[in-house]
Structure formats: C-alpha cells, structure tokens
Amino acid sequence: MTGFTGRVTAITKLTKRRRSYKWERELQRTFTDSEWQTVVTNSYRSTICARLQENNYKLLSQWYRLLPKFTDMAIPDSASFFLLHCNEMSPARYRKSLISTLITVAKSLIPLFWKSKTIPTLKDWALKVNEIYQFEHYKTETSNPQYLENLTQKWFYWLQFTDSQEYRTLTS
C-alpha cells in the first residue's frame, strides 16, 4: 500500500500494539481493533494540514510521555514550555539539561517534512537525537575533554535508553 491509506494502516498496527493499551488503561475502556482503526483514521482524516496530523500522531503515540525517561526534571505540560523553553530552571542549568535538546530536535524535524505528505516519526526523532549526541560527544572529546563528565551526566538517561530493546525496536 502506498500513500495515505498505507501510512494509516501501518500506524494503526503500530499504535494498536504499543499505544492503545496505554489509552485503554488511562481511559478505563477497551478498544476493539475496529474501534482503534476508526480512532486512528479519524485522527488523520480530520484535516489535510500536516501539522495537525503530526499533532494527532504525537497525541496518539503519547510521545510527550517519553521525555521523563531522559531527564530527572519535572516536565510541565504547557505550550510555553515546549514552544518557548519557558521554565523555572536557571538558564545555565537548562542549557546543560537534555530536555532542551530533546524539545529542540522535535521542533527541528517539522521543517524537514514541511512539503512532504509524511510526518516525523518517533524513529526520526530518536535517530536525530542520537545524531546530536554523537556530535556533542565528538566535539567535547576533541576540543574539551575535561567536560566529558558533564556530557555524560547530561546524556545519562538517553544512553540508558539507547541500550534498551525499546530503542532498538523503535529505530529498526
């Protein structure tokens, strides 16, 4: 299958296996395969706007719940935090935290898919985040080796995630 129908079918299968169970627990409701297919299809067919389709995908996949795995800070559920990096942390602490990188990478994927009929996936995001880690590690190692410990602290939870089966499945 190609095009929209193929994407919806692939996402439906992926989402059913991994995500509908979380929604079922949260909503205290069981979805049949047919109902979940309708949920996903309606989410994508409710608009032709790629941004809104992307937002619907992120909501269905609960991508925002992944972020606490990679940081020890509380993450507010607010537009000002995700869009403007507005938070209670000092600028120096926030700059050294991984959350700023995770959010910036997510926002940076939007223009890459701007004129495409596809939307960024969690796989795209994870691979891009890992690319940033590799760049920061290389740059720190070659120009400021004394800061490797700081880098390791910043990326600690991400590195644990990249060693997991969940990451290998996501990026395969």
pLDDT in tens, 50-94: 666 776 776 677 666 667 777 767 777 676 777 777 778 787 888
User: Which of 42, 61, 80 marks a domain boundary?
Assistant: 61
- Amino acid 71 reads T
Q: Are residues 124 and 51 in the same domain?
A: no
Instruction: Report the range of poorest mean pLDDT among 40-44, 62-66, 99-103, 165-169.
Output: 62-66
Q: How many CB atoms lie within 10 A of CB 164?
A: 11
User: Which of 61, 82, 98 marks a domain boundary?
Assistant: 61
Q: How many structural domains compose the chain? A: 2
Q: Are residues 112 and 139 in the same domain?
A: yes
- Amino acid 80 reads S
Q: Are residues 100 and 48 in the same domain?
A: no
Closest residue by Cα to residue 123 from 115, 113, 114: 113
Q: Are residues 54 and 128 in the same domain?
A: no
Domain limits for position 72: 66-172
Q: Are residues 57 and 72 in the same domain?
A: no
* pLDDT value at 162 more than 90: yes
- The encoded tokens of residue 94 equal 């926030």
Q: Are residues 26 and 76 in the same domain?
A: no
Q: Are residues 109 and 149 in the same domain?
A: yes
Q: Does the predicted TM-score (pTM) go above 0.75?
A: no
Q: Are residues 6 and 90 in the same domain?
A: no
Contact 40, 53 (CB under 8 A): no
User: Which of 61, 80, 106 marks a domain boundary?
Assistant: 61
H-helix segments, the chain = 3-18, 20-27, 33-45, 50-61, 79-84, 91-96, 98-112, 122-143, 148-162, 165-171
* Dihedral sign of CA atoms 111, 112, 115, 119 in order: negative
Q: For 85, left (φ over 0), alpha (ψ -120 to 50), or beta?
A: left
Q: Are residues 21 and 70 in the same domain?
A: no
Q: Are residues 138 and 99 in the same domain?
A: yes
Q: Are residues 56 and 73 in the same domain?
A: no
Q: Are residues 132 and 160 in the same domain?
A: yes
